[in-house]
């Protein structure tokens, strides 16, 4: 006679005349490191589309729900909705131009989850009360990706570092190569700036300065 019992998260097989044999259930099979890195980028990069939505509750939640689950989704939703609501009140908008990854590496694995260390840069244009300013920010964070019925999703975020890379076009800033990530990630080329209208804004500022000082622009 054979009796099988399956109490979670352990299973025991009891055979007549033998001692019980117990072992932990095997967790879901996760993809290899290269696939994890690629899936992380596919989950992470689209998140910056949230800045195109404004304070649209359903739109924000729907976009974030494609990448986050559980408490992580709730936290991200509250933070992004609050930020976008305040941006409208402050007459501020952000146009994301570039999201580039300096490095993404698998740190460790557990039952049904994997942690990755990500270093990335974001280049964009901040418009505040009609004035446009190019910005490049660099970030580093550890993300936990967990297995769900929809595939891997982000379940935890731990920020490690955030720094603003000084703008090449900001008045008074001295641009040095040390300010850039090694790959130049996130830095906007002139076509990006033209598309965003930043160069037009700079030319307008130069004309206004010339009218004030009497010094013609070159």
Specify the CATH number for the domain of residue 94.
3.10.450
Q: Quote the percentage of the chain above a pLDDT of 90.
A: 43
Residue 35 is assigned to a structural domain of this protein? yes
Across the range 143-162, mean pLDDT stands at 93
Spatial distance between the Cα atoms of 74 and 64, rounded to a whole number of angstroms: 9
Residue 59 has a pLDDT of 96
Q: How many domains does the chain have?
A: 1
Residue 148 is assigned to a structural domain of this protein? yes
Residue 10 is assigned to a structural domain of this protein? no
Would the pLDDT of 174 be above 50?
Answer: no
Residue 204 is assigned to a structural domain of this protein? no
Please, which residues have CB within 8 angstroms of residue 151's CB and are 6 or more apart in sequence?
A: 39
Q: What is the pLDDT of residues 104-138, one digit of tens each?
A: 999 999 999 999 999 999 988 888 888 888 888 88
Residue 201 is assigned to a structural domain of this protein? no
Would the pLDDT of 139 be above 70?
Answer: yes
Residue 83 is assigned to a structural domain of this protein? yes
Across the range 144-154, mean pLDDT stands at 94
Q: What is the pLDDT of residues 48-81, one digit of tens each?
A: 999 999 899 999 999 999 999 999 999 999 999 9
Residue 53 is assigned to a structural domain of this protein? yes
Q: Is 120 exposed, middle or buried (0-12, 13-18, 19+ CB in 10 A)?
A: buried
Would the pLDDT of 10 be above 90?
Answer: no
Q: Give residue 34's domain range.
A: 30-171
Residue 3 is assigned to a structural domain of this protein? no
Q: What is the pLDDT of residues 14-38, one digit of tens each?
A: 333 334 444 444 556 788 999 999 9
């Amino acid at each position: 006679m054979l009796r099988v019992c399956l109490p979670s998260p352990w299973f025991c097989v009891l055979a007549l005349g033998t001692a019980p044999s117990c072992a932990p259930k095997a967790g879901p099979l996760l993809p290899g490191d290269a696939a994890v890195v690629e899936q992380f980028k596919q989950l992470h990069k689209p998140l910056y589309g949230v800045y195109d939505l404004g304070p649209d509750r359903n739109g924000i939640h729907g976009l974030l729900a494609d990448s986050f689950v559980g408490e992580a989704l709730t936290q991200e939703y509250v933070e992004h909705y609050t930020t976008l609501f305040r941006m409208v009140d402050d007459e501020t908008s952000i146009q994301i131009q570039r999201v580039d990854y300096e490095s993404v590496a698998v740190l460790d694995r557990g039952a049904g989850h994997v942690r990755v260390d990500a270093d990335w840069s974001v280049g964009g244009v901040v418009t505040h009360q009609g004035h446009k300013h190019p910005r490049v920010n660099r970030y580093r964070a550890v993300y936990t990706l967990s297995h769900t019925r929809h595939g891997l999703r982000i379940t935890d975020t731990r920020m490690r570092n955030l720094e603003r890379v000084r703008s090449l076009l900001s008045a008074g800033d001295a641009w040095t190569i040390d300010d850039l990530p090694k790959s130049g990630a996130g830095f906007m080329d002139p076509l990006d700036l033209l598309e965003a209208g930043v160069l037009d804004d700079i030319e307008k500022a130069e004309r206004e300065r010339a009218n004030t000082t009497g010094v013609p622009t070159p």
